[in-house]
Amino acid sequence: MLKRMQVFTLLFLATSIAAGQTPLHRRLAEIAKQAHGNVYVSCSLPGVELDCYLEAHGHPPMQSTFKFPLALAVLHEVELGKLQLDQPVRFLKSDRSVTFSPLQDEFPNADVDVPLRKIIKLSVETSDNTATDIELRLIGGPSVLQRYLDSLGLSAIHQQDSEHTLHSDQKLQYRDYAEPSAMVALLRLFADHSPLNPEHTAVLDEWMREATSGPKRIRALLPAGTPVADKTGSSGLEWGMIPATNDVGLITLPDGRRLALAVFVTNAHADQDACERVIASIAKEVYDEALTSNK
């Protein structure tokens, strides 16, 4: 009950700050214009009011950022005893995808056993789509992931498709959305009162810190060596625009506090480099503001 109340508090934090009047908010809004689309932002630093909210309750498509809550759900199944982290999982021919997959590159013919630990790690660190669909198959599909999110009070994160389904019809990505405030609430929960045990919290945090999919996003303009545990999401070019260029994560400040940040760039008519610069610039502005804010 306490965790759910904390989540609800975070979800509505954005409404407690005067909308659109602070210098930080104005700087973020100006940066967002460079995407020539829609930019959604939310952030949270305990004990500090940061006016970083741009359409924080909007519904941008998640793309692969959903692999963070999926990893939480799979590790929850491990803690329930339904799965084991080092159990062998059969990589079936039917799991193979036409999209990005280091797992499939390693085993192009499938029909091999792979430890569950490696499957989750690949999904989180490299954004492996085949590994992600194997996770969904193991837990019983997107509806099980959604029930887990609902149990955390986070139904504003909404996933109903697999990677295979999404890539068969790109228009479906718009129904798999997350309110930025809800994604930040999940990051905040993970950082402060994780729904997982300490061992699984630490291993997921490590995998997110070692992620390779977003070097030009949240991490790009932060001081060298700043710890960032994040998960990206990308659509690529569709219909003459880029529906989704996203990054959500936890930035560790020099004093050890962790800043939660979610940036979703949606329906952008700028190119991919510009979209990533928008995310990097917003992250740097929020980071710098957090450094100067009182605890």
Point out the residues that are catalytic. 64
**Structure tokens, 203:** 């291993």
Helices (H), 17-98: 23-32, 67-79
**Structure tokens, 130:** 């085949």
Q: What is the CA radius of gyration of the chain?
A: 18
The crossing angle, in degrees rounded to 10, of helices 129-139 and 67-79 is: 40
Distances (CA, A) of 294 to 47, 48, 290: 8, 7, 8
* Residue 58 DSSP label: -
Distance CA 283, CA 220 (A): 9
Contact 263, 248 (CB under 8 A): yes
* Residue 65 DSSP label: G
Residue 61's nearest CA partner among 168, 176, 157 is 176
Distance CA 41, CA 245 (A): 12
Q: How many CB atoms lie within 10 A of CB 244?
A: 28
